[in-house]
Amino acid sequence: MSAPHVVVAGAGPVGLTAALTLARRGVTVTVLEQGAELATESRASTFHPPTLEMLDRLGVVRTLLDRGIIASTFQYRDRRGGEIATLDLAVLAEDTAFPFRVQCEQSRLTPILLDALPPGVEVRFGHRVHDLTAVGDSVLVYTDRVALRADWVIGADGAHSAVRRALGAAFDGTTYPERFLVASVDEDLDAALPGIALINYVFDPREWLVLLRTPQHWRVLLPTPADTPDEVESARLPERLRDVADLGRPWRILHASLYRVHQRVTDRFRIGRVLLMGDAAHVNNPLGGLGMNSGIHDAVAMATALADVLEGAPDDLLTAAARRRRTVAVDHVQRTSHDNWSRLRADDAAEHDRLRALAADPAASRAYLRRACLIDSLS
């Protein structure tokens, strides 16, 4: 009998983590990626402690740390009043070997994962998966160019997943009433807004915002009406940035994108011999940086369970891992990211006092950060 063959659709952070996890266990893996190369789009930029631990076990965290910036704290700020509270991740020292967040774009992780794949793993770029058919204990995976036989398929092909659509799986949930505008700027915001941290959630009932440092620049995330034309929003951006900090001249904007934001989840993360993970299985708003992180956690948990099953463990183990990851997506990731959104928009002095008290109390900070950084979601 030939060795089991797993086909992974999508060479994003989730698909490549799943491929690496399986390959390290000796499983034969082929990755099919629709793009001609790895995506370079500016998206996730925060790595939480448990993700760093997983990447450490895969032998890639040191390179990521070299390319990223360590953020030991993050801030909650009031747009008018400045700092509300600074939370220090050092309180997680008992919980993790990495008591900090790493600021680094996901497009810097994917080449690291790709380079770490053992020589036996085939990554085929320019192969868009468009359909699947179950044939006995196998699955035929159709791309524009070939049909491949797989024993198992991993759908890690993002929010518009062709694998999920081929299975006819629902993707129920909600769309936010506003779009999010992300601008990368070439400005020294430490000088313009003295005392800010590398990660800042800025509360304002009229216009909340997030300020994030990445290795090369600052990113500003702003809510934007759902229905105004993109060109109107582009034209308004310089004025909106001037309202964040008046530099006495227009901000240098390197890049800006508008995103529609959803919270959606598919019914089952395992359907027969197909596993859905990452954005293919669940999406959430980006506040708190949970999407890619939880997707990487899906990849490690489900690919490890699949490797166990391929080595003879009961099949139920994989079903249980898939169920557990769906529970985490709904009860933990979606709830936390939605709470983060609600809090940014609220004008609630009592909440500010609560956050100040939290920051002043190491035990309470630790409990809060264990949840915010996804540590509790893994226990």
Ligand X SMILES: Cc1cc2nc3c(=O)[nH]c(=O)nc-3n(C[C@H](O)[C@H](O)[C@H](O)COP(=O)(O)OP(=O)(O)OC[C@H]3O[C@@H](n4cnc5c(N)ncnc54)[C@H](O)[C@@H]3O)c2cc1C
Q: Which residues bind ligand X (CB under 6 A)?
A: 9-15, 32-35, 39, 43-46, 106, 128-129, 156-158, 162, 182, 259, 278-280, 286, 289-293, 295
Nearest distance in Å: CB 294, ligand X: 7
Residue 226: partners with Cβ closer than 8 Å, 6 or more residues away = 177, 178, 179, 260
Q: Which of 317, 328, 346 has its CA nearest to residue 50?
A: 328
Nearest distance in Å: CB 66, ligand X: 19
Nearest distance in Å: CB 353, ligand X: 28
Pick 15 or 50: Cβ nearer ligand X: 15
Pick 158 or 223: Cβ nearer ligand X: 158
* Nearest position to ligand X, beta carbon: 12
Pick 50 or 291: Cβ nearer ligand X: 291
Pick 182 or 352: Cβ nearer ligand X: 182
Nearest distance in Å: CB 292, ligand X: 3
Count of all residues that appear for the chain in the document: 379
Pick 165 or 356: Cβ nearer ligand X: 165
Pick 174 or 360: Cβ nearer ligand X: 174
Residue 179: partners with Cβ closer than 8 Å, 6 or more residues away = 223, 224, 225, 226, 258, 259, 260, 261
Nearest distance in Å: CB 81, ligand X: 25
How far from each other are the two terminal CA atoms of the chain, in whole angstroms? 37
Nearest distance in Å: CB 196, ligand X: 17
- Sheet containing 199-203: give its strands across: 82-88, 73-78, 199-203, 209-213, 218-225, 172-185, 253-265, 282-283
Pick 13 or 99: Cβ nearer ligand X: 13
Nearest distance in Å: CB 246, ligand X: 25
